[in-house]
Amino acid sequence: MSFPTIPIQTKRPLPKNCSFSASDWNVLSSFWHPVALSSEVKDKPVGVQLLDALVVLYRTPEGVNAARDVCMHRGAKLSLGSIRDGALVCGFHGFHYNCEGVCVRIPALPTGSPIPNKLRLQTYLCAERYGFVWVCLAEKPRASLPDWPSIENGSGTVAVVPPGTWQSSAARHVENFNDICHVPWVHTGTFGGPETPIEPYDVSVTDTRLSFQADITERVRYTESGAGPTYRQAVYSYELTLPFASSVKVLDPNTSHVYRIYDIASPVSASCIRIFQVVVDESRLTPAEALIDFTMRINAEDAPQVESQSPDQLPLDLRDEIHIPADRMSIEYRRALARLGLGAQAVS
Ligand SMILES: [Fe+2]
C-alpha cells in the first residue's frame, strides 16, 4: 500500500494567535472544511472562524464566496457590512468587493478616479454541497469533498442538524464518532445496547479513507419504533474520509431499514470545533424533526466525555495511550493522521 498525496501547496502566513503548530496548520488548511449551513448565508455577510483564520462568507449572483474577514482599506471586519448590488460592502466606508474579491466601487472616490489595484481581498476556495458551505484555505485542495450520494439522490428523508460547538479537538471528536466501544456506556438514553464484548474486526485503509463493519446490538431507536427500550441486531458500516468527515450506515438485516449519519468536525481552532451533521432515513419512517432531535440527544451524551479528554489533542504516538483490540479503528485513524503529516513528533 502506498500513500501518494498531492504535495501541500499552501505556504500562506499563519493566522494571528494560531493555536496549531505551523506544520499541522499547513496540512489541515489544504483540506475542505464545512464552515456554515447554506441556509445561514443569505442576504448578509457571515463571519466564521476556520483553523483560527477569520473568514467572511458572502452570497453574490455567482454563488457563495469566501475571503479573509478584513477590509483592505482600514482593516475593519467585512462581516459587519452588507450585500448590495451583488457585492460585499464594508460597513465602515462602503468599499464594494465583487465575487473575486476585487474592489469595484469606492463611494467617496470622485467619478472617473481609478480604484487602486491593491484593493483586492484574500479570497479562499468555497463550495456548497450537502447543505453546507465548505472552505479550503490553501490555493489547491489536497482532496475532494466526501462522496455521499445518499444525501442528494432523494433516497430518503434528509435532516440537516443545527451545528453544535464543542470545546474539543476535531480528531478527538472523530475518534469518538467511530468508536463502537463507548456506545453501551455513553448512549444509555438513546441507542446504546447492553454491555457486550466487541469481536475483533478489520479496518480497510486507503490513502483517503478508513472503513470497517461491525454487528452491534443496539437499542431500537425510538424514532423508528415509537416504543422501547427493546433491542435489535444491526450492522454498522463506518467510513471515514480523512481527516474529519465520518459516516455510518445502520442496517437492520431483518427489515432492510437503513439509517445513515454523516458527521464532520470543523476545526475552529485546535481546541474548539463546530459539528456539521446530516441524517438520512432511507426507510422514511421518521420525520426530519425527530431525526434532528434524536441526533442532538446523542450529541449531548457524547460531548461531556469528549470535552473532558486529556490531553485535548489526539495523541498520534501510539505509546501515549493504552489500546485494546476493540480500538482497532482508533489505532488506524491515529496512524492515518500521522501519515498525512500531522503531529510532528508522531510515531506510527
Ligand atoms: Fe457516541
pLDDT value of residue 347: 39
**In the chain, what are the helix, strand and coil shares in percent, each to the nearest 5?**
20, 35, 45
Query: Which residues, at least 6 apart from 2, have a Cβ–Cβ distance to it below 8 Å?
Result: 207
- Domains of the chain with CATH codes: 22-136 (2.102.10.10), 149-340 (3.90.380.10)
Quote the ligand 1 centre to 305 CA distance (angstroms). 9
Quote the ligand 1 centre to 180 CA distance (angstroms). 8
The CB density around residue 195, as the number of other CB atoms within 10 Å, is 9
- Whether residue 286 contacts residue 70, with contact meaning beta carbons closer than 8 Å, is answered with no
- Whether residue 305 contacts residue 192, with contact meaning beta carbons closer than 8 Å, is answered with no
Quote the ligand 1 centre to 249 CA distance (angstroms). 14
Q: For ligand 1, an ion, list residues with CB under 5 A.
A: 302
Quote the ligand 1 centre to 279 CA distance (angstroms). 15
pLDDT value of residue 173: 98
The CB density around residue 102, as the number of other CB atoms within 10 Å, is 15
Quote the ligand 1 centre to 237 CA distance (angstroms). 15
Q: What confidence tens digit (pLDDT) does each residue in 228-242 have?
A: 568 899 999 999 999
Q: How many residues does the chain have?
A: 348
Torsion of Cα atoms, 270 then 167 then 135 then 148, to 10°:
120
Quote the ligand 1 centre to 185 CA distance (angstroms). 9
103 forms bridges with which residues in the sheet? 97
Is the pLDDT reported for residue 183 higher than 80?
yes
Is the pLDDT reported for residue 119 higher than 60?
yes
Quote the ligand 1 centre to 176 CA distance (angstroms). 6
309 forms bridges with which residues in the sheet? none
Q: In angstroms, rounded to a whole number, what is the distance separating the alpha carbons of residues 145 and 137?
A: 14
Average pLDDT in the chain:
93
Confidence of residue 223 (pLDDT cuts 50, 70, 90): low
Confidence of residue 189 (pLDDT cuts 50, 70, 90): very high
133-156 mean pLDDT: 95
Quote the ligand 1 centre to 3 CA distance (angstroms). 30
pTM of this structure: 0.93
Listed in order, strand segments (DSSP E) in 130-230 are 132-136, 157-166, 204-205, 209-219
Q: What confidence tens digit (pLDDT) does each residue in 248-272 have?
A: 999 999 999 999 999 999 999 999 9
Quote the ligand 1 centre to 112 CA distance (angstroms). 61
Percent of the chain with pLDDT over 90: 88
Quote the ligand 1 centre to 35 CA distance (angstroms). 22
Quote the ligand 1 centre to 300 CA distance (angstroms). 9
Angle (CA) 319 320 325, round 5°: 65
Quote the ligand 1 centre to 147 CA distance (angstroms). 23
Q: Is the four-CA dihedral 9, 11, 14, 20 of positive or negative sign?
A: positive
The secondary structure of 83-105 as a DSSP string is EETTEEE-TTT--EE-TTSBEEE
Quote the ligand 1 centre to 158 CA distance (angstroms). 21
Quote the ligand 1 centre to 110 CA distance (angstroms). 60
The CB density around residue 61, as the number of other CB atoms within 10 Å, is 7
The values of phi and psi at residue 224, to 5°, are: -100, -30
